Structure 1
Amino acid sequence: MASALETLCGQAFGAKQYHKLGVYMQRSWIVLFLCCFLLLPFYVYATPLLKLLGQPDDVAEMSGEVAAWMIPLHFSFAFQFPLQRFLQSQCRAVRSP
């Protein structure tokens, strides 16, 4: 979804419709955060779902623990990736050292 934002922002920047850049980024944040909330039960209930699918108990338990730690990361990606694409379309990407 963030890749689609790169295309939209690149086209808007090339067409000098700068007012659309922020609108596109805000809309992508809304869509991605909604998707994060829809996927949240899979992260929270990863252990029982994996056991239901026939995974060994120890693997399901460890995977459930890892999934719980990934919840904040999942939400941060919904914020970071559109922002990165927004900045890249304007050739203003932040480079890591």
Structure 2
Amino acid sequence: MNMKQYLKLELLVELPADLEIELNKPYKKQVDNNIIVEPNKKMTMSVDELADELQISNTTIYTMVRQNEIPHKKVRGRILFHRVTIEKWLSEIEQK
């Protein structure tokens, strides 16, 4: 009989009192120039993630990148989009 054994470890850490108060505070969204930055969201997005969020095709995103129509950065061959920059860019487009 092949049985796997698992070891459950519990780590008890004493936290400073002020840190506990900070953790128990209600969730507050950080606002950056009228754009809400949610802590659970990633800071950057890939082409696929941005296309999905904007509900447009990947091809459209690649075309916009090639024509410098959308703010982006290339990191080691990957095209990345900073979430806050894209949100600001979208709000500027809406104002025009």
The structure with the larger Rg is 2
Larger relative contact order, structure 1 or 2 (CA cutoff 8 Å, min sep 6): 1
- TM tier, smaller: under 0.3
Higher helix share: 1
Q: TM-score, normalised by structure 1?
A: 0.23
